[in-house]
Structure 1
Amino acid sequence: MRQRRRLAAAAALVCTTALSTACGGSSTESASTELEGRGPITYAAGKDEEGVNPKIIEAWNKAHPDQKVRFIELPSSADDQRQQMVQNAQTKSDAFTVLDLDNVWTTEFAANRWIVELPKDRFELDQFVPTTVETALYRDRLYGVPATSDGAMLYFREDLLRKAGVQPPKTWAEMRQACDEVLALPEAEGMSCFAGQYEKYEGLTVNFAEAVNSAGGVITDENGKPNVNTPEAKRGLDALIEGFRSGMIPREAITFQETETRRAFMDGRVLFSRAWPNQYSHAAGADEPSKVAGKFGVAPLPGVGGPGVSSLGGHNLAISTYAKNKATAVDFIKFATAAEQQRLRLDVGSLAPTRSSLYDDPAMQQKYPYLPLLKKSIEGAEPRPRVVNYGEVTDAVQQHVYAALRGEKSSQQALSDLQAQLQKLTG
C-alpha cells in the first residue's frame, strides 16, 4: 500500500512540474488571474521558538521596502493555530495574507476555498522532495508550497548504549530489551525508557498514526475512508497501552507535548525519545543548557511489527482567499521557500528542508550527519488522514486513543468507537 502511495506521489509530481495543458496548464492560468496586487502583507505562523521567521522577514523587507511583511505570531499549539486561521477565513478577514499551514490542513483549507490555487510553474517543484509536494496538492492542483518538512527520528543516549554494548533498536521489542540492559547501569539510575507525545492534542494523532502504520495498519485508506478497527491498528494501539502499563513509557508522558519530551531527554530523564529534527539543536545545547550535549545519537524510528514509519510532518505556505496584495504574497512564498532560506531554517532551528539538494550536499551532510537518515524518514513517511474535515477527524482520534491510554476503555472498544465516529464524519 505504501509503495502505491509513493508511486502516486511521483506521478503527481511529474504532472505538477509539467507545463503542458494536459497536466494542468489551464489551472495555472486561472490561478494566476487571482493573484494580483502589490504592497504590504502579513505572515501568520505559530510561535517561533527557533527565531527563524524574523530573520527571513528582515531579509525580505530590506530588499522590498514598498512590500513589507509583518509577522503575526500565533500560539504554539497547532490546534490553536488552526482555530485562529479558520476563524479568520470564516469571517472573510484580510488580516492574514500568507498562512503557515500544518501540511495536513491543506486539503481542508483548499476544499473550503479558504486558500487560493497557486501557479505550479513559479516554484521549481521538481527540486523538492516528492512526498512534501504531495501534501500541497488538492485534486492535483497546487495550494501551498512546502517550506519545512518533518520526519520523526529516535533520539538515544549514545554514551549509555555504548557502555552497555547495545545497538539502537529497530523494533519496540528490541527497545524494551535495550532498556532492560541499559537502565541497569549505575549511570542510568532514575531514568525511564522512552517518551513520545501523548497529551490530548495533535501530537497524539501523530504518535498513534505512527504506531498503527508501523504495525501495518491505517487510520484511513487511500481514498480517505476509515479503516481503523483492524487487528493491525489494535496491535499498534496495544503497544502504546502496554508501554504505559509496563512503565516503559513513564506515566508522566501522558501530559507530554514536544517541549516536554525534549526537556525530559535533555535533562537525562529518558533513554530514548521520539521527536522531530528540531530537537537536535536543542539537545546539542545550541540555545539552552543540555545534559546530553555530545552524548546522544539519532536512528530510524523503531516499529511495532518491524521498522518504524514516521508520520509526515511539515508546513506549507499558502495564501488566504480574502487577502490583499496576493502578487506580493506569491513572491514572498517563493523567497521564503528558496534554498537559502531553507538552509537558514536548518542552521538556526534544525527545521527539515523540503529541497532535495540540501540533503544531498556533502558539505551539509558533514555539518549535519543525520540528514541522510532524515531524508529517508521523510521519503518513507505516511501522511495523516487527508480529509476535508481534518479538524473533526483528529479530535475524534485524540478522544478515543487518549481514553485507551488512560485505561478508561479497552483498545478494542476505542477502535470500534473511533471507526464508527470516523464513518459519520467522512460520510
Structure 2
Amino acid sequence: MLAEEREALDEIVSRIRAGRITRRTFLERALALGLTGSSAVSLLEACGGSSNSSGGNGASINLVWQSEQESTQTYQHLADRFNQSIGQQQGIHVTWLQGPANSDDMLAKYNNMLRARDSSIDVLSIDIVYPAQFADSQWIKPLSERRWPASERAKYLTAPLLGCTYQGKIWAAPLRTDVGLLYYRTDLVPRPPQSWDELTASARNAMAKTRYGYVWQGAQYEGLVCNFCEVLYGYGGAILAANNPRQVTVNSSEGRAALTKMVSWVGSISPAAVTSYLEDSSRQVWQNGSAAYMRNWPYAYAMSKDAAQSQVDNRFAIHSIPYGGTNTVGHSAIGGWNLAINAFSQRQEQAWQFIHYMLQPPAQKTLALTAGLAVTLLSTYDDPEVLQKGPLFALLKPVLQQALPRPVSPRYSNVSDAIQRHVYQALKQQSRPSDALRGLEDELKQINSTIE
C-alpha cells in the first residue's frame, strides 16, 4: 500500500462513517485499493458509526498490517478476532494486506516506501534476515523493555529473538519460524547420524540400495546460505561474530573443514546436479525414493507423508542437523517472519497492541493448528491439541531450541550474495575451499567497512 492508497483508504473510511457514500461504493473502492473481499467487509463492519466506542459504534483508528503471503486466510481470521475483541474495546481496526509470493518483491516495496518515510503501513512483516538492516536504517522502532519485558520474551524461542536483536535491542517480535531438518529413510538407515562424518559414511553405504545418499540445496541462492551455515555451525564456526557483526570469522579451521566436507559430497554421496537443487528439487528426488537422506524445511514433512505423491510415506523420520569436528551439537538455520512497527507510523502504540495480541497463546495456537506454522511461543509445542493434530510439533521443539539465525547484519543482502557466490565456486570446484573462504573473508570485510 502506497501513501496515496492509504490516504484514499482513510478517506473512504471517513466518508462511510459520515454517511456520504454507500456500502457498495465503499466496498468497490476498498477492493480497488487492493484489500481482499474479507478485509473490505471487515473494515466496513467496523465503520458502523463515527465515535470511538467500546460498544461497537465504529473504530476510530484504522491500523494497516502488511504481511508476507499467507494462503490459508489464517491471518485474516486473526485480524478479525482482534477487531471483534481488543480492537472493538479500544477503537482499533486492523486491515490485513496479503503479501506477494516473492519476498524479494516485498523487500523492494519496503525499501521504496520507507526511504520516503511513508507511514501508510503501520505493522510490517519482515523476514528473519532483515531486522538489523531495517534497524540500522531507522525504519522500525525497537521493542522497549516497557512494551515487551525480558520476563515475557523468555517464553519464546531463542534463535528467532537473536535474529531480531541488533546492537543490544529487540527490533521485531518473532511471529513464526522455520528450521532446517535432516530427513532419513528408516528402511535404509538403522539409526540417524549424529555427526557429518557419520552421515557421509551412512549415505555411502545406503547407495547400495538407493541412487543417492544425500540431497540438499546447492544452487546459488539463499537456500545455499542456510545449508552452508548449518554445516559451519555444526563444526563450531560462524560467519560473523555473534556480538559484533563487523567482525568476520568465516575463514577459520572450522570454516575450512565445513566447506571441504560439503565439496566432498558433490558427485559422491550427492548427485553432481545438487549444485542446481532448490528445496523442491531435493524434495522430488527424495519423495521418488531416490535418496537415503535429505536436508529440507518442515513443509516437506506432510508432502513426504502423503502416499498419493510420495514413495517414502511410511519409511522416513526426521532428526536434528548433525555436528562436525570436535563439536557435539548441531544447529539448524532458521527462517521465519517477524512483526515490526513502522518508525514513521502515527499509530505506534496501537501497532504494538496488535503485535502483542499475535504473540499470545490463543493466536499462536491458531497459527499452528489452522496454518500449520512453526510458531515462536514455546508452550505451543506442549499443547495437547496441537500435538494431536500435528505430531511434527513434538519433533520440532528440540531442533528449534538448538537452532541459530543466519548472520545478523545491517548489510545482509550483500553478505548473503557474497556467501552464495564464494561457496558455490567451491562446490563447482572453481576454487579451493581455502581460497573461497579467503575471498569471502575479504569481501565481507569490505562490506562491513560501509557500516557506520
Which residue is 2:41 aligned to? none
Alignment of 1:18-417 (within 5 A): 39-48=61-70, 52-61=74-83, 63=85, 64=87, 67-76=93-102, 78-123=103-148, 124-161=152-189, 166-185=190-209, 188=210, 191-222=211-242, 223-224=244-245, 225-246=247-268, 248-285=269-306, 289-305=309-325, 307-362=329-384, 364-365=386-387, 367-417=389-439
SS of equivalent residue, structure 1 residue 313: strand
Query: Which whole-Å CA distance do the structure 2 matches of 1:204 and 1:391 have between them?
Result: 14
SS of equivalent residue, structure 1 residue 416: helix
Q: Does structure 2 retain, via aligned residues, the 8 Å contact 1:198–1:255? A: yes
Shift of 1:49: 5.1
| Deviation readout 1:283-342 (Å, 9 max, x if unpaired) | 3339x8433333321111123335422123332210222335334322221222222222
Query: Which whole-Å CA distance do the structure 2 matches of 1:53 and 1:253 have between them?
Result: 35
| Deviation readout 1:104-137 (Å, 9 max, x if unpaired) | 3111111211111234444532322234333333
Pair 1:331–1:220, CA change in 2 (3 A): same
SS of equivalent residue, structure 1 residue 127: coil
| Deviation readout 1:213-261 (Å, 9 max, x if unpaired) | 1122211113120011122101111111111132x22233323333333
Shift of 1:68: 3.2
Q: Does structure 1 retain, via aligned residues, the 8 Å contact 2:263–2:427? A: yes
Which 5+ residue runs of structure 2 have no aligned equivalent? 1-58
Which residue is 1:26 aligned to? none
Aligned residues with identical type, % of pairs: 27
Q: Does structure 2 retain, via aligned residues, the 8 Å contact 1:214–1:307? A: yes
SS of equivalent residue, structure 1 residue 67: strand
Q: Which amino acid aligns with 1:71?
A: L
Query: Which whole-Å CA distance do the structure 2 matches of 1:350 and 1:197 have between them?
Result: 23
Query: Which whole-Å CA distance do the structure 2 matches of 1:197 and 1:119 have between them?
Result: 38
Shift of 1:84: 3.0
Q: Which amino acid aligns with 1:312?
A: I
Which residue is 2:30 aligned to? none
Q: Which amino acid aligns with 2:95?
A: V
Query: Which whole-Å CA distance do the structure 2 matches of 1:159 and 1:317 have between them?
Result: 42
Shift of 1:410: 1.7
| Deviation readout 1:345-379 (Å, 9 max, x if unpaired) | 32344422211211233554455444454222222
Structure whose CA Rg is larger? 2
Q: Does structure 1 retain, via aligned residues, the 8 Å contact 2:230–2:330? A: yes
Query: Which whole-Å CA distance do the structure 2 matches of 1:71 and 1:62 have between them?
Result: 18
Q: Which moved more, 1:124-133 or 1:383-392?
A: 124-133
Q: Which amino acid aligns with 1:178?
A: S
Pair 1:337–1:172, CA change in 2 (3 A): same
Q: Which moved more, 1:93-102 or 1:47-56?
A: 47-56
Q: What RMSD, in angstroms, separates the aligned Cα atoms of the two structures? A: 2.7
- TM-score with structure 2 setting the length: 0.76
- TM-score with structure 1 setting the length: 0.80
SS of equivalent residue, structure 2 residue 214: strand
Q: Which amino acid aligns with 1:393?
A: V
Q: Which amino acid aligns with 2:201?
A: Q
SS of equivalent residue, structure 1 residue 336: helix
Query: Which whole-Å CA distance do the structure 2 matches of 1:219 and 1:325 have between them?
Result: 38
Query: Which whole-Å CA distance do the structure 2 matches of 1:417 and 1:341 have between them?
Result: 45
Q: Does structure 1 retain, via aligned residues, the 8 Å contact 2:69–2:98? A: no
Q: Which moved more, 1:221-230 or 1:413-422?
A: 221-230
Query: Which whole-Å CA distance do the structure 2 matches of 1:308 and 1:51 have between them?
Result: 35
| Deviation readout 1:164-194 (Å, 9 max, x if unpaired) | xx21112222223322333323xx4xx4222
Shift of 1:266: 3.1
Which 5+ residue runs of structure 1 have no aligned equivalent? 1-36
Using CA pairs below 8 Å that are at least 6 residues apart, which structure has the higher relative contact order? 1
Q: Does structure 2 retain, via aligned residues, the 8 Å contact 1:106–1:136? A: yes
Query: Which whole-Å CA distance do the structure 2 matches of 1:422 and 1:293 have between them?
Result: 43
